[in-house]
C-alpha cells in the first residue's frame, strides 16, 4: 500500500521544486498515478459487470505494469460474445502470463458449454494450469473416445467430491452413465453424499441422471423427509433409494428420530448396502453432536459400505470412548487416498501400538510414525513426540544467492503480483503470485527459486506470500520464512505485560491473518488478530481501553491490545487450556464449553478432543494454532519444545467454575 502515497507525495512536491528537471521527472509519476486509478476503476467495473466502462477505460491502461489484468477484465466480462480471433489475439499478446492461462481456462469452459469439441481439444493442449475440475470433466465429455478405466475412476472421484453442481461434470457423468461406465449405484451414492453435506442442487442434478420427472419426490425428500418416511411406501426397487435418501436427510436434523425409524421399520426393507449407508449417516451426525450413541449406530453398518467421511467420524467416536480396536478397523476401511492423510496415519499407528502384544507388532506402526514425523504440522509434531523426540527446528538452508534474488526481482509474474498487492488488488496479486510460484505448474519453481521468491515477499512485507511460498519447498525448510515474527517488539511487549505466551500470540496471528495488517474477513473481523467490532467493544471495556472506536481496529497496536486482551480472557476462562482457548477465539466460548462434555464425561487427551471438534473450520484452526505455537516457541527460545505439553487434557468443566464468558459476534 506504500506505492500510491509515495507517488502522490512526488506530485505534491513537484510544483514547489525549482528547476525544470524535477518537474519533468514528476510527469511519469503523474501518469503512473492516473493509470493506477484507471486500474482500480476497472477492477471495480469488472466486479460490477460493467462491460461498457471496461472497454472505455482499457486504452488508458496500456503500458501499465498491470495492463494484462486490465485486458483480462475487459475481455473476460464479454467472453460469451467475444470472437475466437479476439481471444487468440489476447493469447498472443499476453503469452506466458497468468492472465493468458486464466483466460484460456475461462475460454475452455465457454467452448465446453458450446460443445465445440475441436476448439476445446486445440486449446486444452496449451492449458498450463490444468487444475479446473469442470474443464477436466468437459475433456471427458467432448472426447471422441471414452477414457481408460483410470480416467473414468478420476472423473468419478471428481464428480463424487464436487462441492457444487456444475454443467461440465454433469455432462461427463451423463456420457459415462449412458455408456455404462457410471452405474446407477454411483449416481445414488452421489445423491446421498450431496444431501449429507446439504448440497441440494447437486443431489437433484445426480438424481436427474437416473429418474425422469423426479422433481416432486426430490422436493419432498429434501423439504420433509419425515413426512415421506411416514407414508410407509412399499420399499422395492427405486423406492428403496428414496427411503435411503430420506433417512440421510432426516439424520442431518434429527439423528435419533432417523435411527428409530430405521431400527423399527425400514431396516428390513433396505438392502444391506443401503442399510449400512443410512446407519453411517446417522452415526456421523450423532458423532458430530458428540453423542455416546454414535459408536452403536456405526456398529450396525458394514464398514465396507461406508464413505470416508463416515469412517472419519466413526474413528473420532471410537477415540472418545478409548476403543482402539474400533479406531484401527475404521481407518483400515478408509480409501487408500484418505489413509495417506497424516491424521489417520498417526491415529492408526497409535491404535496399533495400543493393541500390540510384542515388539514385532510395534515395528510397523513405529515406521508409520517415522514416515510423517517432523515440525510441519500438528500430527507430524505429535508423531515426533510419540517417537520420544522433542520438536526441534531444522538447520536453516543457505540463503539465496545474489543471482537467485535478482532472478526473483526480475520475474514478471512476481513483479505484477507485488504491484497488484501494493495497489490494493490483493486477491488478484495473490492469484498471480501463486500461479507463478506453484510447483505443480509446468516449469514451476524449484526449492532455491521458491526460497528467493519468499525472501522477496518478506522484504516487501507481503507476509502471507512469504509464508505460503516458503511452505512449498520440498527438501529445504527455512523456518524463519515460514514462521516470521513481524511487529516483534509490539507483540512481545504486550504479551509480557498481560502474562501471555508470545509464541501463542504469534501462533494465533499466523493462522488468523498471516500478518496482513488490513485483513478483512467476510463477516467483518479486522486486522492482525481478526477481531469483530462487538467483541472489540466488549474487550476494550474489560481491559480498560477508554474511548475505543471500531475504526481503531485497523491500528496495529490497538488491534494487538484488544486481540491479546480477549485471548487472555478466554485462556483464563478455560483455566489456561490453550486448545480450549483457541477454539473459543474461533467459535465463541459457549461451543468449546459444550464440547467438553457434561459432568461425569471422561477426561480426554486434548489431541482426541481437538479431533472431535464438530466444526471442521474450528477443528483445523485449533490444530494449526497449537502447531504454530510450538514452532514459534522453539524460534523465540532456541530450545526444544513439546506440543503434547501445550495440549494437556480436556475434561468437563468443574461445578465451582467462575461465571463463563459470553459469546460475542
Most confident by average pLDDT, 32-41, 207-216, 533-542: 533-542
CB atoms within 10 A of CB 515: 20
Instruction: Look at residue 233 in the predicted model and tell me its pLDDT.
Output: 73
Q: Which residue has the cell 459415462?
A: 176
d(C-alpha 665, C-alpha 663), whole Å: 7
Task: Grade residue 402 by pLDDT with cuts at 50, 70 and 90.
Answer: very high
Of 536, 561, 531, 563, nearest to 549 by C-alpha is: 536
Instruction: Look at residue 48 in the predicted model and tell me its pLDDT.
Output: 97
User: In percent, how much of the chain has pLDDT > 90?
Assistant: 84
Helix-helix angle 308-321:342-355, to 10 degrees: 40
Q: Strand, coil or helix: what is 591?
A: helix
Distances (CA, A) of 287 to 163, 248, 318, 439, 613: 22, 14, 9, 38, 10
Please classify residue 453 by burial: count the beta carbons closer than 10 Å to its beta carbon, then call 0-12 exposed, 13-18 middle and 19+ buried.
buried
Distances (CA, A) of 194 to 218, 227, 233, 572, 613: 13, 20, 23, 41, 22
Buried b / exposed e across 414-430, counting CB within 10 Å, b at 16+?
Answer: bbbbbbbbbbbbbebbb
Instruction: Look at residue 231 in the predicted model and tell me its pLDDT.
Output: 85
Collect contacts of 12-21 with beta carbons under 8 A, ≥24 apart: none
State the DSSP string of 506-518.
Answer: HHHHHHHTTT-TT
d(C-alpha 77, C-alpha 106), whole Å: 11
Q: Strand, coil or helix: what is 9?
A: helix
d(C-alpha 104, C-alpha 126), whole Å: 8
Task: Grade residue 601 by pLDDT with cuts at 50, 70 and 90.
Answer: confident
Q: Strand, coil or helix: what is 244?
A: helix
The three grid cell numbers given for residue 37, joined into one nine-digit string: 486509478
Active site residues: 512
Residue-wise pLDDT for 465-517, tens only, equals: 999 999 999 999 999 999 999 999 999 999 999 999 999 999 999 999 999 99
The three grid cell numbers given for residue 208, joined into one nine-digit string: 436427474
Q: How many CA atoms lie within 13 A of 67 on its CB side?
A: 12
Are 624 and 379 in contact, with CB atoms under 8 Å apart? no
The three grid cell numbers given for residue 154, joined into one nine-digit string: 478420476
Residue-wise pLDDT for 452-475, tens only, equals: 999 999 999 999 999 999 999 999
Helices (H), 544-664: 556-573, 578-587, 590-595, 606-611, 616-637, 643-647
d(C-alpha 384, C-alpha 345), whole Å: 13
d(C-alpha 42, C-alpha 423), whole Å: 13
Task: Grade residue 542 by pLDDT with cuts at 50, 70 and 90.
Answer: very high
Instruction: Look at residue 14 in the predicted model and tell me its pLDDT.
Output: 38
d(C-alpha 645, C-alpha 640), whole Å: 12
Residues whose CB falls within 8 Å of the CB of residue 417, separated by 6 or more in sequence, listed in order: 429, 430, 432, 433, 436, 465
Please classify residue 524 by burial: count the beta carbons closer than 10 Å to its beta carbon, then call 0-12 exposed, 13-18 middle and 19+ buried.
middle
Instruction: Look at residue 15 in the predicted model and tell me its pLDDT.
Output: 37
Q: Strand, coil or helix: what is 401?
A: coil
d(C-alpha 637, C-alpha 623), whole Å: 21
The three grid cell numbers given for residue 553, joined into one nine-digit string: 481496529
Residue-wise pLDDT for 565-582, tens only, equals: 999 999 999 999 999 999
Instruction: Look at residue 12 in the predicted model and tell me its pLDDT.
Output: 34
Distances (CA, A) of 180 to 103, 160, 446, 621: 34, 17, 43, 43
Whether 2 shows a pLDDT value over 60: the answer reads no
Whether 429 shows a pLDDT value over 50: the answer reads yes
First to last CA, the chain: 29
Q: Strand, coil or helix: what is 407?
A: helix
d(C-alpha 228, C-alpha 268), whole Å: 17
User: Phi then psi for 381, rounded to 5 degrees?
Assistant: -70, -40
Domains and CATH numbers, the chain: 183-306 (no CATH), 402-477 (1.10.1240), 488-650 (1.10.530.10)
d(C-alpha 252, C-alpha 422), whole Å: 45
Task: Grade residue 165 by pLDDT with cuts at 50, 70 and 90.
Answer: confident
Choice among 43-47, 66-70, 197-201, 346-350 with the minimum mean pLDDT:
197-201
Residue-wise pLDDT for 403-418, tens only, equals: 999 999 999 999 999 9
Q: Strand, coil or helix: what is 312?
A: helix
Residues whose CB falls within 8 Å of the CB of residue 211, separated by 6 or more in sequence, listed in order: 217, 238
The predicted model scores a pTM of 0.92
CB atoms within 10 A of CB 652: 14
- pLDDT mean across residues, the chain: 92
Torsion of CA 311, 316, 321, 326, to 10 degrees: 30
d(C-alpha 130, C-alpha 119), whole Å: 17
Instruction: Look at residue 5 in the predicted model and tell me its pLDDT.
Output: 40
Instruction: Look at residue 432 in the predicted model and tell me its pLDDT.
Output: 97
The three grid cell numbers given for residue 174, joined into one nine-digit string: 451423463
d(C-alpha 250, C-alpha 235), whole Å: 17
Residue-wise pLDDT for 102-154, tens only, equals: 999 999 999 999 999 999 999 999 999 888 999 999 999 999 998 899 889 98
Task: Grade residue 162 by pLDDT with cuts at 50, 70 and 90.
Answer: confident
Q: Which whole number is the average pLDDT over 278-294?
A: 97
Q: Which residue has the cell 475466437?
A: 84
Amino acid at each position: 500500500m506504500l506505492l500510491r502515497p509515495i507517488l502522490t507525495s512526488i506530485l505534491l512536491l513537484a510544483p514547489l521544486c525549482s528547476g525544470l528537471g524535477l518537474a519533468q521527472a514528476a510527469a511519469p509519476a503523474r501518469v503512473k498515478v492516473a493509470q493506477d486509478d484507471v486500474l482500480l476503476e476497472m477492477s471495480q467495473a469488472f466486479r460490477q459487470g460493467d462491460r461498457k466502462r471496461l472497454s472505455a477505460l482499457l486504452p488508458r491502461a496500456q503500458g501499465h505494469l498491470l495492463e494484462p489484468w486490465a485486458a483480462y477484465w475487459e475481455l473476460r466480462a464479454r467472453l460469451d460474445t467475444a470472437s475466437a480471433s479476439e481471444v487468440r489475439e489476447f493469447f498472443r499478446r499476453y503469452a506466458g502470463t497468468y492472465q493468458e492461462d486464466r483466460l484460456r481456462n475461462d475460454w475452455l469452459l465457454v467452448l465446453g458449454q458450446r460443445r465445440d469439441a475441436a476448439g476445446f481439444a486445440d486449446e486444452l493442449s496449451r492449458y498450463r494450469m490444468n487444475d479446473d475440475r469442470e474443464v477436466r470433466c468437459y475433456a471427458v465429455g467432448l472426447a471422441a473416445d471414452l477414457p481408460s478405466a483410470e480416467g473414468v475412476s478420476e472423473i468419478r472421484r471428481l464428480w463424487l467430491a464436487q462441492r457444487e453442481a456444475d454443467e461440465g461434470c454433469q455432462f461427463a457423468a451423463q456420457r459415462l452413465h449412458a455408456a455404462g461406465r457410471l452405474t446407477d449405484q454411483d449416481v445414488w451414492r452421489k445423491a446421498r453424499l450431496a444431501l449429507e453435506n446439504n448440497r441440494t442442487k447437486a443431489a437433484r442434478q445426480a438424481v436427474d441422471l437416473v429418474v425422469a420427472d423426479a422433481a416432486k419426490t426430490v422436493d419432498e425428500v429434501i423439504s420433509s423427509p419425515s413426512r415421506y418416511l411416514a407414508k410407509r411406501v412399499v420399499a422395492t426397487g427405486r423406492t428403496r433409494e428414496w427411503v435411503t435418501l430420506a433417512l440421510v436427510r432426516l439424520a442431518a436434523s434429527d439423528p435419533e428420530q432417523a435411527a428409530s425409524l430405521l431400527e423399527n421399520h425400514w431396516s428390513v426393507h433396505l438392502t444391506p448396502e443401503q442399510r449400512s449407508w443410512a446407519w453411517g449417516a446417522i452415526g456421523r451426525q450423532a458423532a458430530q453432536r458428540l453423542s455416546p450413541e454414535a459408536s452403536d449406530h456405526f456398529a450396525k453398518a458394514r464398514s465396507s459400505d461406508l464413505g470416508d467421511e463416515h469412517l472419519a467420524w466413526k474413528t473420532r467416536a471410537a477415540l472418545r470412548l478409548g476403543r482402539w480396536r474400533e479406531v484401527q478397523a475404521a481407518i483400515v476401511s478408509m480409501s487408500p487416498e484418505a489413509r495417506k492423510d497424516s491424521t489417520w496415519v498417526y491415529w492408526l499407528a497409535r491404535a496399533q501400538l495400543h493393541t500390540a502384544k510384542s515388539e514385532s507388532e510395534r515395528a510397523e506402526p513405529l515406521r508409520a510414525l517415522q514416515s510423517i514425523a517432523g515440525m510441519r504440522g500438528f500430527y507430524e509434531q505429535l508423531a515426533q513426540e510419540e517417537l520420544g523426540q522433542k520438536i526441534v527446528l531444522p538447520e536453516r538452508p543457505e540463503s539465496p544467492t545474489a543471482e537467485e534474488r535478482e532472478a526473483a526481482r526480475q520475474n514478471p509474474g512476481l513483479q505484477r503480483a507485488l504491484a497488484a498487492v501494493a495497489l490494493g488488488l490483493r486477491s488478484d496479486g495473490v492469484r498471480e503470485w501463486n500461479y507463478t510460484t506453484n510447483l505443480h505448474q509446468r516449469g514451476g519453481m524449484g526449492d532455491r527459486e521458491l526460497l528467493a521468491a519468499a525472501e522477496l515477499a518478506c522484504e516487501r512485507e507481503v507476509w502471507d506470500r512469504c509464508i505460503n511460498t516458503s511452505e512449498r519447498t520440498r527438501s529445504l525448510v527455512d523456518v524463519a520464512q515460514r514462521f516470521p515474527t513481524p511487529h516483534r517488539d509490539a507483540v512481545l511487549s504486550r504479551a509480557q505485560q498481560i502474562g501471555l505466551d508470545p509464541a501463542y500470540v504469534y501462533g494465533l496471528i499466523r493462522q488468523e491473518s498471516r500478518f496482513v495488517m488490513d485483513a478483512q474477513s467476510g463477516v467483518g473481523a479486522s486486522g492482525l488478530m481478526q477481531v469483530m467490532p462487538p467483541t472489540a467493544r466488549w474487550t476494550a471495556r474489560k481491559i480498560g481501553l477508554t474511548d475505543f472506536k471500531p475504526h481503531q481496529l485497523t491500528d496495529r497496536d490497538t488491534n494487538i491490545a484488544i486481540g491479546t486482551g480477549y485471548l487472555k480472557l478466554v485462556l483464563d476462562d478455560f483455566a489456561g487450556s490453550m486448545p480450549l482457548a483457541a477454539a473459543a477465539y474461533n467459535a465463541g466460548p459457549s461451543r468449546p464449553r459444550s464440547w467438553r462434555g457434561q459432568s461425569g464425561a471422561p477426561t480426554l487427551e486434548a489431541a482426541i478432543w481437538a479431533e472431535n471438534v464438530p466444526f471442521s473450520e474450528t477443528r483445523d484452526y485449533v490444530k494449526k494454532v497449537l502447531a504454530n505455537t510450538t514452532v514459534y516457541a522453539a524460534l523465540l527460545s532456541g530450545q526444544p519444545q513439546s506440543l503434547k505439553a501445550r495440549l494437556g487434557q480436556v475434561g468437563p468443566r468443574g461445578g465451582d467454575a467462575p461465571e463463563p464468558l459470553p459469546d460475542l459476534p
